[in-house]
Amino acid sequence: MEKNTGKNGKRKSNLSKEKLQDMYMKMLHTRAFEEKVAYFFSRGMVHGTTHLYVGEEATAVGAIANLRADDWITSTHRGHGHTIAKGLDLNRMMAELLGKETGYCKGKGGSMHISDITLGHLGANGIVGGGIPIATGAALTVKLRGEDKVVICFFGDGAINEGTFHESVNMASAWKLPVIYLCENNQYGMSTSQKKATNIDDLSVRAQAYGIPGKRIDGNDIFEVYETVREAKEYVKKNGPYLIVAETYRYLGHSKSDANRYRTKEEINEWKTKDPIPRMRIYLEENKIFTPEELDGMETKAKQDIENAVEYAKNSPDPDPADLLTDVYAD
Amino acid sequence: MSQREITYAKAINEAMSEEMRRDKEIFFMGEDIGIYGGAFGVSVGMIEEFGETRVRDTPISEAAIIGAAAGAAATGSRPIAEIQFSDFISIGIDQLGNQAAKMRYMFGGRAQVPMVVRAPIGSGTGAAAQHSQSQEAWYCHIPGLKVVTPSTPYDAKGLLKSAIRDNNPVVFLEQKLLYRKKGLVPDEEYTIPLCKGEIKREGTDLSIISWGRMVPMVLEVAEKLAKEKKCEIEVIDPRTLMPLDKQIIIDSVKKTGKAMIVHEAVLTGGYGGEIAAVIADSEAFFHLDAPIRRVGGFDVPIPYNPELERNAVPTPERIEANIRELLQ
Ligand SMILES: Cc1ncc(C[n+]2csc(CCOP(=O)(O)OP(=O)(O)O)c2C)c(N)n1
Ligand SMILES: [Mg+2]
């Protein structure tokens, strides 16, 4: 895996300046959003639990940069990054975390259920592996209706050991459905190392069992993620599913109650040298796409946008108590 | 008899550890139960004592956890399987309901499946719709399973030891919101038999049958109404829901003439309906001087917002209002 040395500067990317700015901003927004949420939890200001995406931003942003608003994704319990990358509104996301009426789920879902069907987001998920069949079904709709869309199914290295993964990939492969299964291997499912939970090093070899292509990539290199997903997108539209395993790492605990007893400080620090955000920044600077001042400005703006989202959320009303009984059934 | 105050979580830890010291066939498996100590810290220290062979961190594979427990149990081991949240039992419910529960009967009584599936149940932690359910009625509807849910540290320890020694698959449902609650537990070894309820408070005016974390809530309301000289409520905790100690319920209702069932699970199809039917079907029916009342969760998934969440399930206020109505 490449170190944070500026090697990325040599990589050629034909993305437009606007696109690069959008991608960089989405990584910054995700980082700032998560840091704010971590702060809320440490102060006991938010109810429940949460799973933060800090360190993994390049995977969601690089992958989803290939999608249109009407392409579908399924997300996970660690879903804020996918959600921001899919273009959902920061204000309404923050409002959902605070359980407000203006949140994406009217305060009923919280962190683990944020979704917006109108923006192609089929939901974070409280069930590990729960989104994998859902993505498969979305791809089935696309195929049955003859639509020009793709589905990206995000899931973790832990989820890859659920039956839902194996059943879904096989079905999608047999039916040649347009879905990219994107495993975010952040090395652990909660406290359990991927190396202990399976007897394989490279999870992408599982693709072979289903007769589909599989590729292992550096999930902290936004350009590698972008390019791989771009190729996979063209492939799945014609040929059926593709498995990508993006190697990445979460710096923070699994959830708010994690003493990090299962890994070392050295390991965490080693991964911090591969942080995807400085890596993209180095690329943008070395190629003189943006000046350092412009990049600093983006960082300031990202933080300010999150502050604004917090203000919006705090000033939003709580749900009406009568909402408890609504939305159980469709009309 | 010397006693100590310990938490509900610690009581469960002690029950498992004592049994594992006693019987080498017992092993324990589940997600993050080793060095992490379990999602709720129940198994802290166990991997240090028993090692990785007997305290096994599993992949995230609930169907295999439950099914492998059944297979191990049928072949001479005595597994304890932890499912991180009871909501995820549904991923392994085929193995539980179609395999573990039925094996003995299907095989003409020539097999036994001595396993325990432990899992935390209930709402109140802000974890929303997929981490907060109370699905005890699902498991009670499967002949061959025993279903246990303790409401105190004392009951948790004594019942879990019996569940581990039982030669049948037992679903042991732990109350998330009670994990940190403390209670007195004897220093000496003890067990509590399965399938035996307990009168948690004696009373004369109304019998309330309740379980899990609703028991302390009902007791609190009962004390309040007793102080106000409104009524004396008898509170019964069946502790084992399946097979049910019907007699303790029938006897109480015969005495008080009124019955109410309080559970956290959604009302419709909840186990309260079964208990109401047990009462209505028995000689207690002739002693009733009011309709049997059920108080349960509303028929909705558990919402995230704290106020909505609190009100989705019975609250002390709602329990009290129902009691007042029934006693009128
Ligand atoms: C079916 C199911 N089993 C267990 C859990 C508890 N749990 C939540 S996240 C998690 C770890 C998931 O690991 P992975 O898929 O690698 O995702 P990551 O958290 O690393 O992003 C576990 C065990 C769950 N929510 N759902
Ligand atoms: Mg993981």
Ordered domains of chain B (ranges, CATH): 3-186 (3.40.50.970), 198-327 (3.40.50.920)
- A contacts of B91 (beta carbons < 8 Å): 127, 162-163
Question: How far apart are the C-alpha atoms of A295 and A14, rounded to whole Å?
Answer: 19
Reported pTM? 0.97
Percent of chain A with pLDDT over 70: 96
Q: Which atom of ligand 1 is nearest to the CA of A51?
A: 19
* pLDDT value for B187: 97
Asked if the model's pLDDT at residue A7 lies above 70, the reply is no
Q: Give the pLDDT band of residue A11 (cuts 50, 70, 90).
A: low
Q: Give the pLDDT band of residue A328 (cuts 50, 70, 90).
A: very high
* pLDDT value for B6: 98
Minimum CA–CA partner of B303 in chain A: A108
Closest CA of chain A from B246, distance in Å: 33
Among residues A14, A35, A70, the alpha carbon closest in space to that of A302 is found at A35
Number of Cβ pairs closer than 8 Å across A and B?
128
**Which amino acid type is present at position A99?**
G
Among residues A126, A158, A132, A30, the alpha carbon closest in space to that of A73 is found at A132
Plot region of B169 (φ>0 → left; ψ -120 to 50 → alpha; else → beta)? beta
- B contacts of A127 (beta carbons < 8 Å): 87-88, 91, 130
* Contact (Cβ atoms closer than 8 angstroms) between residue A156 and residue A125: no
Ligand 1, CB within 6 Å, residue ranges? A 51, 77-78, 126-128, 156-159, 186, 188-190, 254; B 31, 60, 62, 84, 88, 91
Query: Among all chains, which residue has been given the structure tokens 């129902």?
Result: B322
* pLDDT value for A14: 87
* pLDDT value for A9: 47
CB-CB neighbours of B3 under 10 Å: 12
Domains and CATH numbers, chain A: 17-316 (3.40.50.970)
At residue B114, the 3 state secondary structure works out as: coil
Question: How far apart are the C-alpha atoms of A152 and B211, rounded to whole Å?
Answer: 44
Among residues B88, B16, B77, B6, the alpha carbon closest in space to that of B46 is found at B16
* Ligand 2 centroid distance, CA of B39 (Å): 16
Which residues fall within 8 angstroms of residue A97, CB to CB, at 6 or more apart? A37, A40, A46, A50, A103, A110, A111, A313
What is chain A's mean pLDDT, rounded? 95
Per-residue pLDDT averaged across B8-27, rounded? 98
Question: How far apart are the C-alpha atoms of B149 and B237, rounded to whole Å?
Answer: 9
Question: How far apart are the C-alpha atoms of A206 and A216, rounded to whole Å?
Answer: 11
Minimum CA–CA partner of B85 in chain A: A127
Q: CB contact, 8 Å: B282 with chain A?
A: no
* Ligand 2 centroid distance, CA of A163 (Å): 16
Burial of A44 (0-12, 13-18, 19+ CB in 10 A): exposed
Residues of B classed as catalytic: 131
| ipTM topping 0.85 | yes
Q: Give the pLDDT band of residue B106 (cuts 50, 70, 90).
A: very high
Query: Among all chains, which residue has been given the structure tokens 């040395």?
Result: A5
The CA-atom distances, in angstroms, between B177 and each of A98, B14, B120, B152, B213 are 21, 19, 9, 11, 7
* Contact (Cβ atoms closer than 8 angstroms) between residue B79 and residue B26: yes
- A contacts of B32 (beta carbons < 8 Å): 190-192
Percent of chain B with pLDDT over 90: 99
HEC string of chain A equals CCCCCCHHHHCCCCCCHHHHHHHHHHHHHHHHHHHHHHHHHHCCCCCCCCCCCCCCHHHHHHHHCCCCCCCEEECCCCCHHHHHHCCCCHHHHHHHHCCCCCCCCCCCCCHHHCCEHHHCECCCCCCCCCHHHHHHHHHHHHHHHCCCCCEEEEEECCHHHCHHHHHHHHHHHHHCCCEEEEEEECCEECCEEHHHHCCCCCHHHHHHHCCCCEEEEECCCHHHHHHHHHHHHHHHHHHCCEEEEEECCCCCCCCCCCCCCCCCHHHHHHHHCCCHHHHHHHHHHHCCCCCHHHHHHHHHHHHHHHHHHHHHHHCCCCCCHHHHHCCCCCC
Q: Which of residues 238-297 of A touch B (CB under 8 A)?
A: 257-259, 261-262
Q: CB contact, 8 Å: B306 with chain A?
A: yes
Per-residue pLDDT averaged across A269-294, rounded? 97
